[in-house]
Amino acid sequence: MSQANSYLAELVGAFGDPIAENPTGVMQEAAFRALDLNWRYLTIEVHAADLAAAVAGMRAMNFRGINLTIPHKVEVLRHLDEIAPDAGLIGAVNTVRRDGDRLVGENTDGKGFLRSLQAVPIDPRGRRVVILGAGGAAKAIAVELALAGASHITVVNRSVERGRALADGLARTVGTASDFEPWVSSHRVPDGTEILVNATSIGLFPGIEAVPEVDFATIRPGMVVCDVIPNPPRTRFLALAEERGATTLDGLGMLVYQGAIAFTMWTGREAPTDVMHRALREVFG
């Protein structure tokens, strides 16, 4: 008796511009292969003016989900049917999942950061946090740490307006005690800080010699120092913090976990994080 085969692949992918160097597809494809799933991750250049048409296209082609990167993370909100509460607070979506005919906007960046903290294991509940930066990554991390019960969050940023808006927003929307400090020179990390996060782009390849200006004498053993930079995984910032006796956490883990959370949202399967981690490590040499 002949048996019908299905050659139909499930589709997910990423929309961005520029996007050619985005390595997410390598990690997701490795995960699909590891679980023997007939899924494809397509890395697609979508210009800002074409986002509405691209979302309509993914609906028409029954994509199971999509990642969004620059410049679409905020603009995409108006094209979706529903926004997850934390993505609404962050004001940006990096992952869309399909719920029947509905497209739901999620943000897995901050969740990925939390998951990498929990893997140490570190519970952010009741902890005092300092976040360097107030851009998209900083916002996602700050909101998830606030929702996870961090007791106090200080935002340190070069642009006063952006930094203050993030700190005020955390206090207003989540109710977390937060304040803002302008980043004027070598930042002294306040006594009692338990988690310090570099959420700026300082140190990202190819600018790998650059280090966020903090007074490393104020970093103490027992402090958890994190970097969002995935490439290189071991930044100079983390190396200097480690010399001071801090526990460090790199941005590669956050990148793997944010992808793993999206993978599970799309496929309903647990993500093979070790396979994904290995695939990205190979990309970053």
In 70-103, which positions are buried (b, 16+ CB within 10 angstroms) versus exposed (e)? ebbbeebbebbeebbebbbbbbbbbbbbbeeeeb
Distance CA 34, CA 243 (A): 37
Taking the least distance from each CB to ligand NDP, the nearer of 189 and 255 is 255
Binding test (CB under 6 A) with ligand NDP, winner from 105, 124, 251, 272: 251
Distance CA 191, CA 189 (A): 7
Taking the least distance from each CB to ligand NDP, the nearer of 173 and 201 is 201
228 binds ligand NDP (CB under 6 A): yes
Binding test (CB under 6 A) with ligand NDP, winner from 43, 106, 107, 109: 109
Smallest distance from ligand NDP to CB 32, Å: 20
Distance CA 240, CA 246 (A): 9
Residue 146 three-state SS: helix
Contact 224, 116 (CB under 8 A): no
Mark whether 73 is an active-site residue: yes
Binding test (CB under 6 A) with ligand NDP, winner from 201, 218, 247, 264: 201
Taking the least distance from each CB to ligand NDP, the nearer of 25 and 230 is 230
Options 29-37, 54-62, 189-197, 200-208: segment touching ligand NDP (CB under 6 A): 200-208
Residues 132-151 contacting ligand NDP, CB under 6 A: 133-138
Taking the least distance from each CB to ligand NDP, the nearer of 8 and 137 is 137
198 binds ligand NDP (CB under 6 A): no
Please report, for residues 126, 127, 219, the alpha-carbon distance to residue 148 in angstroms, rounded to integers and kept in the order given: 9, 10, 24
Cis preceding-peptide flag for 221 (omega within 30 of 0): no
Options 28-36, 119-127, 148-156, 253-261: segment touching ligand NDP (CB under 6 A): 253-261
What is the C-alpha R_g of the chain? 19
Q: End-to-end distance of the chain based on CA atoms, in angstroms?
A: 49
Q: Which residues are at the interface with ligand NDP (CB under 6 A)?
A: 109, 112, 133-138, 157-159, 162, 183, 200-202, 204, 228-230, 251, 254-255, 258
Catalogue the active-site residues. 73
